[in-house]
């Protein structure tokens, strides 16, 4: 003990000697170093916002996760959720909404890598016919036989008039080909309506360059299947954004662009309800919210702490000196981070708020003891020396216990928290250095120049508190009774793992995540299993379908049809109907106004015949559609009659039509020739989603329940691990990360308590000293747990680190109170000294530092603010009332 005290005294006196001899040099060096660190950090310190880097890459579950991402690529999608109203017309409107939005998104491929909302026949590849049933395939073959002669007829004289005449013959039945069934009415008529409408607009306004590359008939979208949820209530668009892990907002530009496109599409379809969600969106919203909340909280903390100092210390200069010393320490910490880590992660970035709440406490003790000394008539040099010699040991010990709270997580597999521990703990050391060198030097310079106001601080002591603790037994009994009455609250204090409940209320991403959970079988999270061959995939899927917690299962088998041998027999030789046709013929008919008018008249005649049949059948909606097409066709004839030269406007449209039909006939021949579908013959887009670079096959497994519920998540992952212990994916990573975080927090809290107790014992070699110092902490934490249970405030993955911090600050208050109590002369009272004000002010700065988070929109940060404020307040009461009452009781027992 004496050895330790000798070291303390030597260190403090050495610092004082240095400060006394060259105060200006110390201040200049401190500020210059801060400037260099600040500028260097602004230029080169980067932000690593990759959440995968928060966890050690050596952990087995994280290794598997990263390997899966490397092998299959990033498949973490944004989800646009479009409500259909659960009606057929609603689904059609939702589909049009998706098409319109996709067109906007496709304009910036540098921001949006992929957009998936539907799958057409062409998207399935040349083997698309293998997905039809045998009966459907026979019907298609019969239809293809009819299209053979039509193809030959078309390629004899391709052009707009020919297309209109052939359409008229098909509609009237004059072509001799089989007619399409009633189920084809709406697709055919919708396409024809769009086509004739395009003609009318082109004749009126000329060719539109914006649609020069668009298909005329949209035949490439034939057989399109939109990604509706199983119950049909929602249409889902999956969007893969570009990511930049060097920015705070990993998907910032992409997210902004997608949201702008969504807003524009919602304005175009005001009757449609749609919103954006998905893990990357939720993460981006959380990052934006927390960044905004942290900035506001830091500004509020600095301003309110500064204002509090000005009120208590009566003036602006002393508070400014403390804050300037704090800023120096913060700048040094940024520099340290740049040199050692090179980056800040999503957790370590909050260290500045920690230093505002904790690091400034050291300066408070120095300044308050300086004020007490000057009030006693000491010179500036004597006052600074008095302050350093008497508060230095307590400040050193308090800093050491605070550093323990942060360094306790060093070396943990939770890398993000370990880096916060390194940066935060080192930042506290820098605060200690700054408050014991730069601050005393500035106090000495200002004092020698008589820069402080002659008026005394408003609150240097707290004599009124002596009356409260004058009856220690009554005080202790009162708190004992209150504590016992509130004990039931401890049983209600729990841990909430639900990350979605930490998000800010009212966020669209949160709202639509709940829509997905409550109104569909869709999930933004999926687990991943792999198998080396297709038989392994089949066997795995068969096992998964027996598991109650498993919902949707996706694999390459979804795109490999059954019964291919039998279907190949049906298609054998059918492609011959298109033999001999020159699909690449580039010549087409020169547009002649008279021929085009005749062709339009033929189309109107055929449609009028169809009108009569629909009228007889009472098909009102179908009749309205046909009438609309007739009206547009008649308008086209009128426009050509008024000015025949406008016919030339249709030349680009005719060129696109010929190219589209040529490509379609070529595609028809290609799909008729296919005899089998294998993984190798699938389009690259599908292969890349389910086949890894190493040839392994991915199976995506979505949960049937809400995996944001931790119990259901645990059950889901446990069920999957029974089948495959190496399962990975978001559910596994979230589960393991949450458990790791909780374990790390518990270990940090336990280790901090052990280290603090060991340090206290080694500095005193007295069990009673350790127990007395821990009184505020034990009382404060116990009351905090009671308050949490009674108010419904839970621990969560955003606030649990508050406990190690509270251990540090709770002990710090006990250290200073106990040290000053031991210094008291006979008859002198604790509350007649400046220490209670300094300790109270320290607790208040911590409450203010974290109290700004109470205004946070992010519920996790708000809960962190709540726990830190409540915990600081309970530790404050334990330190300011209970511990002095214990001192008084000890004095009475000893007869002092």
Q: Would you say residue 174 has pLDDT above 70?
A: no
- Give the dihedral sign, CA 76/77/83/89: negative
Q: What is the pLDDT of residues 723-742, one digit of tens each?
A: 999 999 999 999 999 899 88
Per-residue pLDDT band for 882 (boundaries 50, 70, 90) equals very high
Tell me what pLDDT residue 802 has.
83
Helix (H, G, I), strand (E, B) or coil at 249: coil
Q: Would you say residue 260 has pLDDT above 80?
A: yes
Exposure string (b/e) for 182-217, b if CB count within 10 Å is 16 or more? eeebeeebebbeebbbbbbbbbeeebeeeeeeeebb
Tell me, rounded to whole angstroms, the distance of Cα 879 from its chain centroid.
40
Return all residues near 486 (Cβ < 8 A) that are at least 6 apart. 783, 786, 787, 790
432 contacts 396 by C-beta, under 8 angstroms: yes
Tell me what pLDDT residue 178 has.
47
- The first and second tokens of residue 661, run together, are 């039909």
**Which residues make beta-bridge pairs with 795?**
495
Per-residue pLDDT band for 210 (boundaries 50, 70, 90) equals low
Tell me what pLDDT residue 467 has.
84
With residue 37 as reference, give the H or E element that holds it: helix 23-44
Q: What is the pLDDT of residues 414-433, one digit of tens each?
A: 888 899 889 989 999 999 99
C-alpha to C-alpha distance for 84 and 106, rounded to whole angstroms: 23
Tell me what pLDDT residue 601 has.
93
First-to-last C-alpha distance (Å) of the chain: 25
Q: What are phi and psi of 108, to 5 degrees?
A: -130, 75
Helix (H, G, I), strand (E, B) or coil at 587: coil
Q: What is the pLDDT of residues 858-869, one digit of tens each?
A: 888 889 889 999
pLDDT-above-90 percentage for the chain: 33
Give the number of other Cβ atoms within 10 Å of residue 227's Cβ. 17
Residue 266 exposed, middle or buried by CB count within 10 Å (0-12, 13-18, 19+): middle
Classify the phi-psi angles of 765: left when phi > 0, otherwise alpha if psi is within -120 to 50, otherwise beta.
left
Mean pLDDT of 671-680: 82
Among 13-22, 133-142, 574-583, which stretch is predicted with the lowest mean pLDDT?
574-583
443 contacts 321 by C-beta, under 8 angstroms: yes
Helix (H, G, I), strand (E, B) or coil at 801: coil
pLDDT-above-70 percentage for the chain: 93
User: CA angle 428-431-435, nearest 5°?
Assistant: 145
Q: Would you say residue 220 has pLDDT above 70?
A: no
Token pair 């309205």: residue: 624
Tell me what pLDDT residue 176 has.
52
Token pair 């955003």: residue: 798
Q: What is the DSSP letter of 56?
A: -
pTM of the model: 0.77
With residue 344 as reference, give the H or E element that holds it: strand 343-344
Tell me what pLDDT residue 811 has.
86
Q: What are phi and psi of 699, to 5 degrees?
A: -120, 120
SS3 annotation, 386-420: HHHHHHHHHHHHHHHHHHHHHHCCCCCCCHHHHHH
C-alpha to C-alpha distance for 586 and 812, rounded to whole angstroms: 87
Q: Would you say residue 798 has pLDDT above 90?
A: no
Q: What is the pLDDT of residues 488-504, one digit of tens each?
A: 888 888 888 887 888 88
Residue 793, CA distances (Å) to 347, 784, 807, 844, 868 in order:
22, 10, 19, 21, 12
User: In this structure, are strands 495-496 and 343-344 parallel, antiparallel, or unpaired?
Assistant: unpaired
Return all residues near 350 (Cβ < 8 A) that are at least 6 apart. 294, 420
Structure-model confidence comparison of residues 400 and 536, the more confident one: 536
Q: What is the DSSP letter of 691?
A: B
**How many Cα atoms are found within 13 Å in the side-chain-facing hemisphere of 503?**
24
Give the number of other Cβ atoms within 10 Å of residue 329's Cβ. 28
Tell me what pLDDT residue 395 has.
86
Among 573-577, 712-716, 812-816, which stretch is predicted with the lowest mean pLDDT?
573-577
C-alpha to C-alpha distance for 223 and 123, rounded to whole angstroms: 10
Nearest to 405 by CA among 739, 759, 59: 759
Residue 840, CA distances (Å) to 103, 365, 435, 459 in order:
62, 10, 18, 11
**How many Cα atoms are found within 13 Å in the side-chain-facing hemisphere of 22?**
8
Q: What is the DSSP letter of 102?
A: H
Helix (H, G, I), strand (E, B) or coil at 683: coil
Structure-model confidence comparison of residues 686 and 866, the more confident one: 866
C-alpha to C-alpha distance for 683 and 117, rounded to whole angstroms: 17
- The first and second tokens of residue 325, run together, are 């010393």
SS3 content of the chain, % helix, strand, coil (to 5): 70, 5, 25
Structure-model confidence comparison of residues 568 and 15, the more confident one: 15
Length of the chain: 896
Give the number of other Cβ atoms within 10 Å of residue 839's Cβ. 28
Per-residue pLDDT band for 63 (boundaries 50, 70, 90) equals very high
Tell me what pLDDT residue 460 has.
62
C-alpha to C-alpha distance for 125 and 687, rounded to whole angstroms: 11
């Amino acid at each position: 003990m004496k050895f330790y005290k000798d070291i303390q005294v030597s260190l403090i006196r050495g610092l004082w000697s240095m400060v006394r001899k060259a105060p200006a040099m110390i201040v200049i060096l401190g500020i210059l170093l801060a400037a260099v660190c600040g500028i260097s950090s602004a230029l080169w310190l980067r932000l690593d916002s990759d959440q995968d880097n928060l966890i050690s890459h050596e952990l087995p579950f994280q290794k598997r996760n990263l390997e899966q991402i490397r092998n299959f690529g990033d498949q973490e999608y944004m989800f646009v959720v479009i409500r259909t109203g659960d009606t057929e017309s609603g689904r059609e409107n939702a589909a049009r909404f998706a098409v319109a939005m996709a067109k906007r998104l496709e304009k910036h491929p540098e921001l949006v890598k992929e957009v998936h909302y539907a799958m057409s026949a062409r998207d399935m590849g040349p083997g698309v016919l293998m997905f039809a049933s045998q009966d459907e395939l026979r019907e298609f073959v019969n239809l293809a036989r009819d299209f053979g002669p039509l193809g030959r007829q078309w390629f004899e004289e391709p052009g707009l008039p020919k297309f209109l005449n052939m359409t008229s013959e098909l509609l009237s039945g004059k072509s001799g080909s089989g007619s399409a069934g009633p189920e084809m009415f709406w697709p055919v008529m919708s396409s024809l309506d769009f086509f004739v409408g395009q003609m009318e607009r082109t004749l009126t306004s000329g060719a539109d360059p914006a649609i020069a590359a668009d298909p005329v008939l949209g035949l490439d979208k034939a057989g399109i299947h939109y990604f509706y949820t199983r119950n049909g209530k929602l249409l889902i668009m999956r969007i893969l954004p570009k990511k930049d892990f060097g920015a705070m907002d990993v998907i910032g530009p992409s997210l902004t662009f997608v949201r702008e496109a969504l807003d524009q599409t919602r304005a175009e379809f005001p009757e449609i309800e749609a919103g954006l969600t998905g893990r990357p969106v939720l993460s981006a919203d959380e990052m934006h919210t927390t960044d905004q909340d942290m900035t506001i909280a830091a500004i509020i903390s600095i301003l309110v702490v500064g204002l509090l100092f000005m009120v208590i210390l009566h003036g602006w200069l002393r508070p400014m000196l403390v804050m300037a010393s704090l800023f120096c320490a913060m700048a040094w910490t940024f520099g340290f981070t740049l040199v050692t880590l090179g980056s800040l992660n999503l957790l370590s970035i909050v260290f500045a708020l920690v230093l505002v709440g904790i690091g400034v406490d050291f300066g408070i003790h120095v300044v308050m003891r300086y004020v007490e000394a000057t009030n006693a008539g000491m010179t500036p040099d004597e006052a600074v020396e008095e302050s350093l010699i008497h508060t230095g040991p307590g400040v050193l010990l308090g800093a050491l216990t605070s550093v323990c709270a942060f360094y306790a997580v060093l070396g943990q597999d939770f890398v993000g928290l370990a880096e916060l521990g390194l940066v935060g703990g080192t930042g506290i050391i820098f605060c200690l250095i700054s408050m014991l060198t730069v601050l005393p030097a500035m106090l000495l310079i200002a004092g020698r120049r008589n820069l402080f106001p002659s008026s005394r601080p408003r609150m240097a002591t707290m004599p009124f508190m002596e009356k409260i603790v004058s009856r220690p037994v009554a005080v202790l009994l009162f708190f004992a009774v209150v504590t016992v009455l509130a004990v039931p609250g401890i049983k209600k204090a729990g841990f909430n793992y639900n990350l979605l409940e930490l998000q800010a209320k009212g966020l669209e991403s949160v709202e639509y995540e709940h829509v997905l959970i409550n109104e569909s079988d869709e999930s933004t999270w999926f687990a991943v299993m792999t198998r080396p061959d297709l038989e392994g995939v089949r066997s795995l899927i068969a096992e998964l379908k027996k598991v109650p917690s498993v919902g949707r299962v996706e694999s390459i088998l979804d795109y490999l049809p059954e019964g291919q041998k039998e279907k190949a027999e049906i298609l054998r030789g059918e492609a011959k109907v298109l033999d001999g046709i020159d699909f690449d013929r580039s010549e087409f008919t020169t547009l002649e106004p008279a021929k085009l008018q005749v062709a339009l008249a033929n189309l109107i005649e055929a449609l009028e015949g169809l009108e009569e049949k629909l009228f007889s059948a009472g098909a009102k909606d179908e009749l309205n559609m046909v009438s609309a097409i007739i009206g547009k066709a008649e308008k086209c004839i009128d426009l050509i009659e008024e000015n025949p030269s406008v016919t030339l406007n249709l030349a680009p449209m005719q060129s696109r039509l010929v190219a589209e039909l040529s490509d379609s006939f070529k595609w028809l021949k290609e799909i008729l020739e296919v005899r089998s579908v294998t993984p190798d013959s699938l389009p690259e887009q599908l292969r890349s989603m389910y086949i890894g670079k190493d040839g392994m096959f991915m199976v995506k497994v979505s949960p049937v329940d809400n995996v944001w519920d931790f119990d259901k998540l645990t059950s889901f992952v446990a069920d999957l691990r029974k089948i495959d212990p190496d399962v990975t994916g978001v559910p596994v990573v979230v589960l393991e990360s949450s458990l790791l975080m909780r374990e790390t927090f518990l270990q940090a809290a336990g280790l901090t308590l052990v280290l603090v107790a060991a340090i206290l014992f080694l500095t005193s070699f007295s069990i009673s000293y350790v127990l007395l110092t821990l009184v505020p902490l034990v009382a404060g934490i116990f009351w905090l747990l009671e308050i949490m249970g009674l108010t419904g405030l839970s621990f969560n993955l955003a606030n649990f680190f508050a406990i190690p911090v509270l251990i540090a600050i709770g002990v710090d208050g006990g250290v200073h109170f106990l040290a000053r109590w031991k210094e008291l002369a006979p008859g002198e009272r604790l509350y007649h000294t400046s220490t209670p004000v300094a300790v109270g002010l320290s607790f208040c700065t911590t409450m203010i530092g974290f109290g700004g988070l109470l205004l946070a929109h992010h519920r996790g940060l708000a809960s962190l603010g709540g726990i830190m404020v409540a915990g600081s307040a309970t530790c404050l009461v334990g330190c300011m009332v209970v511990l002095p009452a214990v001192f008084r009781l000890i004095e009475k027992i000893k007869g002092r």
